[in-house]
Every structure is written in C-alpha cells, then in structure tokens.
Amino acid sequence: MTGPVRSVSQAFAILRLLARDGQAQTLSDVARATGLSVSSCLNLLRTLVAEGALEAESGKRYRLAPGWSDLGALMRSEVARVVARTQPLLTRFAEQHNATLGLWHIQPRERLELVALGASDSATRIHMAVGQRQPIGGGSTGRALAAAQVVDDAELMRRFAALRWHRPLDYAAYALQVGAARSSGYALDDGFGHAGVCSVACVVPGEPAAYCLSASIFAGSRDPDGVRALGLALGALARAIGQSDERS
C-alpha cells in the first residue's frame, strides 16, 4: 500500500491552518506555521486559489473561500478525535513515569495550545490546564518543534527573540539545545521556561507536524540517566501516536 501524497497533505495542512484561525494570513505567516519553504508554500497557495478553496486579498493575504467555512468545524472535530484516541495513552504514561503529560496542538499566530492532559495519582504533581497556550519557541516543546522542522538560524533567532526566561539563557545556548534535541530525539528544558520544572518534549510525527508531547517533572527529582530514560520513552509514545494516526 502506498503512503499519502506529500503535496496533498501539505495542501490540507494549509487549509487546516486557515480554518483554525479564521483570518487572512500572509505567505510568510502560512510558511512559518506549516514549516514549508516559501516557494513550496506559494505554489500550494496559488493552486488552492485556482481550485477555488482559497481567496487572495490583493495577492498578499489568503483566506478560505466562501463554502469552505465549515472546514473550521471539521478541524475542531479532528483535534477532538486525536484527543479521544490519545487520552488513555497519556494517562497510562503519566502513571507509569510519575510525570505530567501534555499534548500540544500547533496554533496559528505561532502559539501552542494544550489540548489534552495526563496526570499521575501522586499527591504532589505539576499542575497544567487544558487550553493554556505558550509561544511556539518556548519550553521543551519549542526546542523539539524547531529541531523537527530543521529551521534555519534566522528563523530560530526570531523565535528566540519572542521568549522570556525564568533562568538566563542566551541564543547560543538555546541553539545548542535545539541541536541536541535533533540528535537525541527529544528536547529538554530544565528550569529555563518555568522555575522548578524540568520537561522533555517530542514532536508527534506528521506531515507537517501538528502536535507535540511534553512530560514535566520537578527539577532535580531525577538524575541525567532518569531524564534521558523519560525522554526516550516519550519519543516512543510520540511515534506510536503518529503511526496510529496514519492508520486511522
């Protein structure tokens, strides 16, 4: 059996993006949010306009064409489907590894939204709330996403400039951490994003990436080997979720 056609998947990623946001976006906005190169993104946008799925405003901004507005409801139902399928996996992982699990959905305007949560039954645990948002470059999820998208230095520096840290962190160190995430398969934030919190993150495989997983523990509660084991286990979970999504 052959796999999905890459260009078709990318076109649907653009449609999902514009459906979620509900506002016209520029070529640069769409390319950044989907991880596409500007040239590939422009070709797809022009094709979608020619097919009547999108409208171009003065050739600079793109929005869904009339008749495609119901796609927003379809996209929300897609997120609900993913959450329903992954929720038991998140809860099981949280209990097995005594960590707080988060499933993050990539949003327009360069944000990540927490759409599902898994928590252990420990009396003391890290609190997170479904619906909370954070900048696309922040935390371990931001490093994981930058590593998976293989963003260039200019884009990485732009994302970094929009962030604030609880512990001092310069761009050179941040870039090294993104590189380490690319090598190890998981990203790490040890108290930089949130005081007293250590988190690891992995991108759920997809074309383009739409979801990230994070596992949060108290800083200093595990040695480096323990953190590495958590990151590798989270990577295995992310791959399992990605494979199940391909089959569904």
Q: What share of the chain is helix, strand, coil (3-state, %, to 5)?
A: 50, 20, 30
Rounded CA separation 136/29 (Å) = 13
Q: What's the average model confidence in pLDDT over 188-208? A: 91
pLDDT at residue 2 greater than cutoff 80: no
Please report which confidence band the pLDDT of residue 151 belongs to, taking 50, 70 and 90 as the band edges.
Answer: confident
Residue 28, classed as helix, strand or coil, is helix
pLDDT at residue 152 greater than cutoff 80: yes
- The class level of CATH for 6-64 reads mainly alpha
Pairing status of strand 211-218 against strand 133-135: unpaired
Mean pLDDT of the chain: 86
Q: What's the average model confidence in pLDDT over 144-170? A: 92
Amino acid at 120: S
Residue 103, classed as helix, strand or coil, is strand
Pick the residue with more confidence: 74 or 6? 6
Q: How is the chain split into domains, by residue range?
A: 6-64, 77-247
Q: Choose among 64, 66, 67, 50: nearest CA to 20.
A: 64
Least confident window among 106-110, 137-141, 155-159, 237-241:
106-110
Q: Which residue has the tokens 């070709």?
A: 43
How far CA 4 is from CA of 47, 210, 248, in Å, comes to: 19, 16, 13
Fold classification of 77-247 is: Beta-Lactamase (3.30.450)
List pLDDT tens digits, range 87-110.
899 999 999 999 999 999 987 667
Residue 103's pLDDT is: 94
Rounded CA separation 245/82 (Å) = 8
Pick the residue with more confidence: 169 or 69? 169
Pick the residue with more confidence: 197 or 245? 197
Q: What is the DSSP letter of 220?
A: T
Q: What's the average model confidence in pLDDT over 152-177? A: 93
CB 16 within 8 A of CB 77: no
Q: Choose among 34, 70, 64, 66: nearest CA to 155.
A: 34
Is the full-model pTM beyond 0.75? no
Q: Is 212 exposed, middle or buried (0-12, 13-18, 19+ CB in 10 A)?
A: buried
pLDDT at residue 21 greater than cutoff 70: no
Sequence-ordered strand ranges (E) for the chain: 25-26, 54-57, 61-64, 100-107, 111-118, 133-135, 187-190, 197-203, 211-218
% of the chain beyond a pLDDT of 90: 46
Rounded CA separation 86/241 (Å) = 7
Rounded CA separation 204/199 (Å) = 16
pLDDT at residue 177 greater than cutoff 60: yes
Q: Which residues contact 135 (CB under 8 A, 6 or more apart)?
A: 110, 111, 112, 142, 159, 162, 163
